[in-house]
Amino acid sequence: MGLLSKKDSKLILDPLADNNPITIQVLGICSALAITAELKAAIVMAISVMAVLAIGNVAISLLRNIIPSKIRIIVQLVVVAALVIIVDLILKAYSYQLSKTLSVFVGLIITNCIIMGRFEAFALANGPWRSFLDGIGNAAGYGLILVIVGFFRELLGSGTLLGFKILGDPIEKTGLYAIGYENNGFMLLSPMALIVVGIIIWVQRSRNKALIEDH
């Protein structure tokens, strides 16, 4: 990347794999699981979190020398809550159906541990530009897992991707359904999200032995 120095591009690339917020740092799991039955909801959620995290990181980074450390949690919560209200209103205005699907999980971005975690761990100690990159990177790592889980759950669960019928029509028995393929309705149930994430962790740690925990 010519635009970014090596140190800066590391901020974006690290959270995508070796320091992924979901599989390694164990942050922000709640929303990753509940809304991934459809790929579209997962993508919208990832974009919302990216907007909130990047802007919030910059705001906290600018305020970092003014906030007294005793009340920093309340200040952080207010910044996030304000940003999330904006995201919620935008979603309601432009994509009402989707905001119904996401229901309370848009509001729960406020308590998404990724956001508070990055504020505490990064934005309070770094300048605005680096905080911005860190926000984008971590939200992208989070979004990556969301999209992978959403992809498998929607493809195997309802045979569609973003609503398009990829595997043929289950009612008219075209495509794969003609040779006896059936949708696995189980994938649409929320517990399967946990198991899919578990498998992602398994694959990732088998490829990178350094990440294995002893117990």
Partner 1 sequence: MEHLELFLKSIFIDNMVFATFLGMCSYLAVSKKVSTAVGLGAAVIFVLAITVPLNWLLDQYLLQPGALAWLGEDYADYDLSFLSFIMFIATIATMVQLVEIVVEKFSPSLYNSLGIFLPLIAVNCAILGGSLFMQSREIPTLGLATVYGIGSGIGWFLAILAIAAIREKIRYSNVPAPLRGLGITFIITGLMAIGFMSFGGMLTGDNEKIQDEKQAVLPKEDIKTLPLKDNENSDEKKEEKVLANNIKK
Residues near partner 1 (CB under 8 A) are 23, 26-30, 33-34, 37, 73-74, 77-78, 81-82, 84-85, 88-89, 103-104, 107-108, 110-113, 116, 157-158, 170-171, 182-183, 185-186, 188-195, 197-199, 201-206, 209, 212-215
Q: How far is the CB of 163 from partner 1 (least distance, A)?
A: 14
Q: How far is the CB of 2 from partner 1 (least distance, A)?
A: 37
Of the candidates 34, 32, 17, 9, the residue with the CA atom closest to the CA atom of residue 143: 32
Residue (129 or 186) nearer to partner 1, CB: 186
For the bound state, the minimum distance from the C-beta of residue 5 to partner 1, rounded and expressed in Å, comes to 32
Beta bridge partners of 161: 164
Compare residues 163 and 185 and give the one whose CB is closer to partner 1.
185
Query: Smaller CB distance to partner 1: residue 95 or 111?
Result: 111
Nearest approach, Cβ of 145 to partner 1 (angstroms)?
12
Nearer to partner 1, 129 or 169 (CB): 169
CA gap 162, 24 in Å, rounded: 28
> Shortest distance, CB of residue 164 to partner 1, whole angstroms?
17
Of 46, 117, 37, 125, nearest to 87 by C-alpha is: 46
Pairing mode of beta strands 160-161, 164-165: antiparallel
The Cβ-side half-sphere exposure at 173, using a 13 Å CA radius, reads 3
Q: How far is the CB of 33 from partner 1 (least distance, A)?
A: 4
**28: CB partners within 8 A, 6+ apart:** 21, 22, 49, 112, 113, 114, 115, 117, 142
Q: Which of 162, 42, 187 is nearest to 102 (CA)?
A: 42
Q: Are 147 and 50 in contact (CB under 8 A)?
A: no
Q: Smaller CB distance to partner 1: residue 4 or 67?
A: 67
Picking from 124, 127, 112, 133, the residue whose alpha carbon sits closest to that of residue 54 is 133
- Choose between 128 and 170: whose C-beta lies nearer to partner 1: 170
